[in-house]
Amino acid sequence: DSLVAGVDLACLSSLAAREAKRFAAARPKTRAALEAGAGAYLGDVPMHWMRDWPMPFPMLVKRAEGARLTDIDGFRIDDFCLGDTGSMFGHSPAPVARAIRRQARRGLTYMLPTEAALEAGALLNRRFGTYRWQIATTATDANRFALRVARAVTGRPKVLVFNGCYHGTVDDTMVELHDGHTRARQGLVGQVEDLSLVAEVVEFNDLSAVEVALAKGDIAAILTEPVMTNSCMVLPQAGFHDGLRTLSRRYGALLIIDETHTISSGLGGYSRVHSLSPDLFVVGKCVAGGMPTAVWGMTDEVAARFAEYDARRPSGHSGMGTTLSANPMQFACLKANLAEVMTPEAYAHMEKGAERLSAGLRRVIEAHGAPWHVVRVGARVEFICAPGPLKNGAEAASAHQPALEAAIHTALLNRGSLIAPFHNMMLVSPVTRKRQIDRLIAAFDEILTELF
């Protein structure tokens, strides 16, 4: 038991200490700037998650272009985090940057649509399939609103989610499985409502548990990612999605597919690539090339049910929408991104690069005899410091090795590659170069050489 995921603990501690020191020593400017300015923020960061990066203090980014960041100490870093998918198509894609410059002279927000909005609507249908769309600013909001519609049209209270899921800071989905029961996640800040009244949680890939939950008759919707991407990476087993679709129809629940991360799967997302047929469809983050935008849509059938509901409800607050949503800047970027950035050619490049990356990481893992594995979903690659495949959130939770992963992340960064915090996710953008991928594989090899 002096081993963590096959790594000797003493060896891990010395790597972690060495890499943390190296990161800090190399960044005097960053350190001085943070000392001078960070105190204005709660916990010294403008968004508290930024403390969850593994290095001793955050990098201060000077600029980002393509798939590369430059920090204020002058380090050029290959970016495989890409804003945890917000910049999956690269930083400031040229068509989106042009659209921003153009729209910047024409007003930023006016709570009225534009012609670009109409064009973006047609593009959304072409890319994702025909839905009745709405625009939100974050995927969190898009999921919240989709859930409201599902509850409205079914008249049922609960959402069914999978253990280990993440759909943004949607209160109702912040649940976990504990001794076979649904309870609120223990880290939630200021939680008052009993979430087991509004949510039920079961394990991913467990259709019989899904059926037991649905049979109670109080589930409005199943909300799921096609692949669990926020809890290591857990792939659906053969027949799982068909089963979800069949069961949700049988028991009168709606199926909400959240493609916010699995948009990495290919053009139109996992749903398009694998012919899923959700009742409600959500995608955010990179859909407008990095401009804060999310889209959510419902089938004509759900739209008809919602129209009936909407006509009967008392007028006034709906609980959906936010003031800055569906603004002209979002539409300018959405249109540019859908038409000119999210192309078959872009996805072909991403897929090819991600395959090169996952094959390379696999080779390194094998060469060092590490009991680890690699999973890929289109442009999204993750190494997991445990044997695989993982079947569900519980297995993913025990596969997660925070201390080991943090040391590897900092060591990768010191060798010029940034990967996503929280877990070991890497994205390949349409502008990621082969040599950036090879550098990451070589750095990974160097680190595993020290660890094993």
432 binds ligand PMP (CB under 6 A): no
Give backbone dihedrals phi and psi of 2, rounded to 5 degrees, phi first: -90, 15
Q: How far apart are CA 130 and CA 46, in angstroms?
A: 38
Q: Whose Cβ is closer to ligand PMP: residue 84's or residue 172's?
A: 84
Q: How far apart are CA 74 and CA 95, in angstroms?
A: 27
Residue with smallest beta-carbon separation from ligand PMP: 168
Stretch that binds ligand PMP, among 123-131, 172-180, 253-261, 418-426 (CB under 6 A): 253-261
Contact positions with ligand PMP (CB under 6 A) in 284-303: 284-285
281 binds ligand PMP (CB under 6 A): no
Q: How far apart are CA 406 and CA 408, in angstroms?
A: 5
Q: Is 180 helix (H, G, I), strand (E, B) or coil?
A: coil
Q: How far apart are CA 214 and CA 54, in angstroms?
A: 40
- What residues contact residue 216 under an 8 Å CB cut-off, 6+ apart? none
429 binds ligand PMP (CB under 6 A): no
Q: Whose Cβ is closer to ligand PMP: residue 64's or residue 370's?
A: 64
Q: Whose Cβ is closer to ligand PMP: residue 396's or residue 451's?
A: 396
Q: Whose Cβ is closer to ligand PMP: residue 203's or residue 218's?
A: 203
Q: Tell the smallest beta-carbon distance from residue 170 to ligand PMP (Å).
A: 8
Q: Tell the smallest beta-carbon distance from residue 220 to ligand PMP (Å).
A: 18
258 binds ligand PMP (CB under 6 A): yes
Identify the residue among 260, 264, 330, 410 touching ligand PMP (CB under 6 A): 260
Per-position x/- string for 85-124, each x denoting binding to ligand PMP as judged by CB under 6 A, each - no binding: ----------------------------------------
Mode of pairing for the β-strands spanning 254-258 and 280-283: parallel
- In the chain, the amino acid numbered 391 is K
261 binds ligand PMP (CB under 6 A): yes
Q: How far apart are CA 279 and CA 256, in angstroms?
A: 6
Q: Tell the smallest beta-carbon distance from residue 288 to ligand PMP (Å).
A: 12
Q: Whose Cβ is closer to ligand PMP: residue 20's or residue 124's?
A: 124
Q: How far apart are CA 128 and CA 258, in angstroms?
A: 12
Query: In this structure, are residues 263 and 269 in contact, taking their beta carbons and an 8 Å threshold?
Result: yes
Q: State both tokens at 70.
A: 């430059």
Query: In this structure, are residues 133 and 295 in contact, taking their beta carbons and an 8 Å threshold?
Result: yes
27 binds ligand PMP (CB under 6 A): no
What separation in angstroms does the CA of 246 have from each of 207, 241, 392, 421? 10, 9, 20, 36
Q: Whose Cβ is closer to ligand PMP: residue 260's or residue 299's?
A: 260
Q: Whose Cβ is closer to ligand PMP: residue 219's or residue 420's?
A: 420
Contact positions with ligand PMP (CB under 6 A) in 214-233: 225, 230
Q: How far apart are CA 199 and CA 292, in angstroms?
A: 28
Q: Tell the smallest beta-carbon distance from residue 131 to ligand PMP (Å).
A: 17
Contact positions with ligand PMP (CB under 6 A) in 117-176: 138-140, 143, 166-168
Residue 77 Ramachandran class (φ > 0 left, ψ -120 to 50 alpha, else beta): beta
Q: How far apart are CA 80 and CA 360, in angstroms?
A: 15
Binding residues for ligand PMP (CB under 6 A): 84, 138-140, 143, 166-168, 225, 230, 258, 260-261, 284-285
